[in-house]
Amino acid sequence: MVHMPRQDFKPPKLNRLILAVANAIVPMALKARSVVGVRFRDEDLEKLKKLKSERLVILPNHPTNTEPVILFNLGHKVGQAFNYVACREGFDHFGGLWGWLIQRLGAYSLVRGALDRPSFTMTKQLLAKPGAKLVIFPEGEVYSQNDSLLPFQSGVIQLAFWGLEEALEKDPKADVKLLPIAVRYTFTQDMTTEISESIERLERAVGLPIGKGEDAYTRVRKVGELVVTKLEAQFELKPPKGSNLGERMDVVKRTQLERAAEIAKVKIKGGPLAEEMRMVINAVHRVTNDPSAAKTDYDRKLWTEARNHIQPALHELDRLANWIAVYDGYVAASPTAERMVHLLVRMEKEVLGLVAIRGRQIAHVGIGNPISLSERLTDYEVDKRGTVASITKESEANVQDILTSLV
């Protein structure tokens, strides 16, 4: 694989005027995403206000692209300006205009899967400051699931410990706390018609007769079974005799990952699907990095060839990320409108290539209790990897508990 220069680091450039303007347009930005209201619990807002002088690494779930706006709104509610870690490729959207804006709202870049020293240094420098507030999405990917999580990435907790070590060099009493936060969405309208129309669009697209008189779950399951069958045919897979739909879905997902890994020349070992997907995604982004630091025309030519070669891997990874959190029985386990719509969102994206189903939503936000890293420092010094892994699981469990409470 051609080695290409790493993308240039994008530092935060917090601008109070831009912050004020952005705060004023938050309601419009939310409505553009069909979120007509955000509900914070009063006791949670008071909790965060009391933590104003504390160094916090804020750990929210990330089911949609709306959570950064909601966290920005939360900072405004409590009178605190947050910093945000964002993937480097996102700064290039809209010709770089998006990056220019979010830098002035406190975001800075991280090249995923790379030893991004400028980004790590920025994290440590920020957390060394008293009262620092840093938002990092520990799932790493948008996964379109409203009430459950992808496994958290342990690297986020490691970054927080590095920040604590930096802070302790200046203040032996310093602490960095992890603050779990959950966002969950509920519809404000009856979604029966929208759900039926979405299923009908999918039935037509895959060649099924319109399931008049059948319940929504039966209809959507038929579509799902046919989609899996068509993907098996495309990938030349023969499901084992007697295998159920869930097992067949798992084989399709693993095949998509293997196809992407082969293109990206990444060796995978059959480990947890989400972790290996992230590893392959990171490898792909190392190739598709902007070649702006390339010194010669020939460097740029080699980068273009490498990028074009790896594009099919991005396609497979996009499809896998869309499906990774779906399992057979997801809707049946809790037959809410929210679960049905989130499943249909994924199916429309896969089958139609766009998402047509919409509905007005309220975002409910819950804030957990902070986890002190200074209290775990002795454990960390004895067993860094084990302590980081333990706190990663604890943070994930805390966010899941908050999600469950937001009913």
**pLDDT number for residue 367:** 97
pLDDT, tens only, 160-173: 999 999 999 999 99
Please write down the HEC assignment for all residues of 70-82. HHHHHHHHCCCCC
Q: Give alpha helix (H) positions in 324-374.
A: 330-333, 337-351
**pLDDT number for residue 6:** 43
DSSP 357-373: ----EEEEEEE---EES
Contacts of 240 (CB under 8 A, 6+ apart): 247
**pLDDT number for residue 322:** 82
Q: Which stretches of the chain drop beneath a pLDDT of 50?
A: 1-6
Q: Please, what are the domains in the chain?
A: 16-187+362-405 (3.40.1130.10), 192-351 (no CATH)
**Other Cβ atoms closer than 10 A to 125:** 13
Q: Which of 256, 257, 263, 259 is nearest to 284 (CA)?
A: 263
* CA gap 127, 56 in Å, rounded: 8
- Contact (CB, 8 A) for 98 and 90: yes
pTM of the predicted model as reported, rounded to 2 decimal places: 0.87
**pLDDT number for residue 271:** 83
**pLDDT number for residue 254:** 93
**pLDDT number for residue 2:** 34
**pLDDT number for residue 293:** 57
Q: Return the CA Rg of the chain.
A: 22
**pLDDT number for residue 296:** 84
pLDDT, tens only, 109-119: 998 767 789 99
- Contact (CB, 8 A) for 330 and 154: no
